[in-house]
């Protein structure tokens, strides 16, 4: 009945074997559980161009879904209670965003309309892992998860008054030995509670010594989780360049054995991005587990009150006041408004990344796509809403900077593999295969495009016809389904 990806014997054999085993299980279980051997499918996604970066499958197939899992991939028609005709559309594994600060209903809506089925807060993370998950369980449109964060743990230890990022003690204060032990205690407890790794934003806590960071890497190595790191500094000015900062993190990974993921390589690397990529490739070649990511934009965003804007920021980033855009109003800054808003605190867009640097990273086969996005009451950076459609529309279709399959690999399989070693549940994501979770992004490759702009970031991407999370539609016929909560917690356990 199931003709599985003709011409790809490995995939067909494995899939066939699985079905054989599944049939045997159903038959033997049927006496006790009354599960019929040929249970009907819940849903068929019929006749789309199915693209799976793991197997290389790129062909017209129908996908059968039952209880949130992919249970059939067939070149013949399948029957089910619900059949959705997706002829002419690409069927991809749902996108996995490793760097999604926005973890609210508002943000999940923008993510779903951009093809994202799993949004993970890996860089900043949280100090209260159990509570963080409890707030979202059973209430989320898409899948979610987080690291335990060095930044929030440090803020808790020193009593920083900042909200999301440190603004006083967390930035300036060295930890005592007792405080350092408390910090490591928070990190260990977070991992016990299922955190997906350890997040770092060293640039936000310049008082954190190299020893403090190394000790936290050691905990990651002990527990077999990766470190997700915003490096200590950015740009080309020495000392304190992005290269020096990458050397710190790579050395900590080498010295402890921890895996390392360097976040947003473009906004950190700036003019040194190609060198950073060369360093990461070299370290990988010599046996270290190091990965990286980028977003497809020519601007960064962060808090104006943070240590990023300490003395010397213009030289480090190679920009001036007018390259800063105050998110609340959209205005470009001057020396006067910079000083005023820095005291107030709030998000600022930083137009600092040359287009050729953004394109270099987006097209580089080693670099994953991740948004670094957050939208709050409609305000923010367009990356929170448009990252994935922008890569597919602008860089794949319009500029042909990379192939569609390579783009999908950077959005699905690569982030899943980054996490799978510590979090086995991720082996069932980022793939279209028998037994995988039915997280799917179904889009029109000729039409998909971002609509979010710096002036108006709160705009849904276009071209996603259907998006499924655990077999449930969160986008159907191009429209968001609001009253559904199929998202599940991604935990390391
Ligand atoms: Zn960052």
Mean pLDDT in order along the chain per 10 residues (493 residues): 38 43 37 51 98 98 98 97 97 99 98 98 98 98 98 98 94 97 98 98 98 98 98 96 98 98 98 98 98 98 97 96 96 98 97 97 98 97 98 98 98 98 97 98 98 97 98 98 96 88
Give the tokens for residue 97. 């965003």
- C-beta separation of 438 from 486 below 8 A: no
**Cα 122 to ligand 1 centre (Å):** 10
256 prior amide bond cis, ω within 30: no
**Cα 75 to ligand 1 centre (Å):** 44
Q: Tell me what pLDDT residue 16 has.
A: 43
Q: Tell me what pLDDT residue 258 has.
A: 98
Neighbouring residues of 142: CB distance < 8 A, sequence distance ≥ 6: 108, 111, 112, 116, 117, 118, 119, 469, 474, 487
Distance CA 110, CA 113 (A): 5
**Cα 467 to ligand 1 centre (Å):** 28
Measured in degrees and rounded to the nearest 5, phi and psi for residue 469 equal -120, 120
β-pair type (347-350, 300-303): antiparallel
Residue 253: its H or E element: helix 242-256
- C-beta separation of 284 from 290 below 8 A: yes
**Cα 126 to ligand 1 centre (Å):** 14
**Cα 230 to ligand 1 centre (Å):** 5
Closest of 317, 306, 313, 363 to residue 160, by C-alpha:
306
**Cα 296 to ligand 1 centre (Å):** 15
**Cα 201 to ligand 1 centre (Å):** 6
**Cα 117 to ligand 1 centre (Å):** 22
Our CA dihedral for 131, 206, 302, 474, rounded to 10 degrees, sits at -30
Extract the runs of DSSP E, i.e. beta strands, from 183-313.
Answer: 198-201, 226-230, 259-262, 290-294, 300-303
**Cα 152 to ligand 1 centre (Å):** 14
Residues paired with 63 in a beta bridge: 45, 73
Q: Tell me what pLDDT residue 55 has.
A: 98
**Cα 349 to ligand 1 centre (Å):** 13
**Cα 25 to ligand 1 centre (Å):** 47
Q: Tell me what pLDDT residue 20 has.
A: 42
**Cα 302 to ligand 1 centre (Å):** 8
**Cα 415 to ligand 1 centre (Å):** 17
CA distances from 258 to 175, 191, 206, 361 (A): 23, 14, 22, 24
**Cα 428 to ligand 1 centre (Å):** 28
Distance CA 275, CA 377 (A): 38
**Cα 233 to ligand 1 centre (Å):** 11
Distance CA 453, CA 382 (A): 5
**Cα 437 to ligand 1 centre (Å):** 29
How many Cα atoms within 13 Å fall on the side-chain side of residue 31? 2
Other residues' Cβ atoms within 10 Å of the Cβ of residue 9: 10
Tokens 């979090």 correspond to: 423
Three-class secondary structure of residue 12 per DSSP: helix
CA distances from 88 to 190, 382, 446 (A): 45, 28, 10
**Cα 100 to ligand 1 centre (Å):** 10
How many Cα atoms within 13 Å fall on the side-chain side of residue 324? 26
- pTM of the full predicted structure? 0.92
Q: Tell me what pLDDT residue 38 has.
A: 62
Q: Tell me what pLDDT residue 1 has.
A: 37
**Cα 101 to ligand 1 centre (Å):** 10
């Amino acid at each position: 009945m199931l003709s599985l990806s003709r011409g790809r014997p490995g995939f067909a054999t494995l899939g066939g074997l699985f079905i054989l085993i599944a049939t045997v299980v159903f038959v033997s279980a049927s006496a006790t559980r009354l599960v019929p051997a040929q249970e009907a499918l819940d849903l068929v996604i019929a006749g789309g161009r199915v693209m799976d970066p793991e197997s290389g499958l790129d062909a017209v197939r129908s996908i059968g879904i039952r209880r949130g899992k992919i249970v059939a991939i067939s070149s013949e028609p399948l029957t089910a209670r619900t059949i959705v005709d997706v002829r002419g559309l690409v069927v991809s594994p749902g996108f996995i965003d490793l760097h999604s600060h926005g973890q609210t209903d508002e943000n999940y809506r923008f993510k779903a309309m951009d093809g994202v089925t799993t949004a993970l807060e890996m860089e900043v993370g949280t100090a209260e892992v159990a509570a963080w998950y409890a707030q979202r369980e059973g209430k989320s449109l898409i899948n979610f998860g987080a690291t335990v964060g060095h930044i929030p743990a440090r803020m808790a230890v020193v009593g920083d008054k900042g909200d999301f990022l440190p603004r006083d003690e967390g930035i300036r204060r060295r930890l005592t030995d007792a405080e350092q032990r408390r910090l490591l205690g928070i990190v260990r407890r977070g991992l016990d509670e299922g955190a997906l790794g350890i997040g770092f934003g060293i640039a936000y806590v310049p008082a954190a010594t190299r020893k403090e960071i190394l000790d936290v890497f050691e905990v990651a190595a002990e527990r077999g989780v990766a470190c997700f790191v915003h490096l200590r500094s950015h740009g080309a000015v020495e000392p304190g360049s992005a290269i020096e900062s990458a050397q710190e993190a790579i050395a900590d990974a080498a010295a402890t054995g921890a895996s390392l993921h360097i976040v947003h390589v473009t906004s950190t690397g700036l003019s040194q991005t190609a060198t950073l990529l060369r360093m990461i490739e070299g370290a990988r070649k010599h046996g270290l587990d190091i990965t990286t990511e980028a977003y497809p934009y020519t601007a960064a965003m962060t808090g104006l009150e943070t240590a990023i804007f300490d003395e010397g920021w213009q030289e480090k980033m190679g920009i001036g006041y007018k390259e800063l855009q105050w998110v609340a109003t959209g205005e470009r800054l001057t020396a006067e408004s910079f000083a005023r808003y820095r005291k107030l605190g709030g998000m600022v867009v930083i137009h600092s990344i040359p287009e050729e640097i953004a394109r270099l990273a987006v097209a580089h086969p080693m670099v994953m796509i991740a948004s670094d996005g957050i939208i709050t009451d409609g305000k923010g950076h367009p990356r929170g809403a448009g990252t994935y459609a922008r890569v597919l529309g602008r860089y794949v279709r319009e500029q042909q900077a990379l192939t569609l399959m390579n783009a999908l690999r950077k959005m699905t399989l690569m982030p899943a593999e980054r996490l799978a070693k510590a979090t086995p549940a991720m082996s069932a994501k980022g793939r279209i295969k028998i037994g995988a979770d039915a997280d799917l992004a179904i889009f029109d490759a000729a039409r998909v495009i971002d609509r979010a702009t710096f002036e108006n970031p709160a705009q849904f991407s276009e071209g996603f016809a259907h998006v499924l999370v655990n077999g449930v539609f969160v986008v159907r016929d191009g429209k968001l389904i609001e009253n559904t909560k199929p998202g599940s917690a991604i935990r390391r356990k």
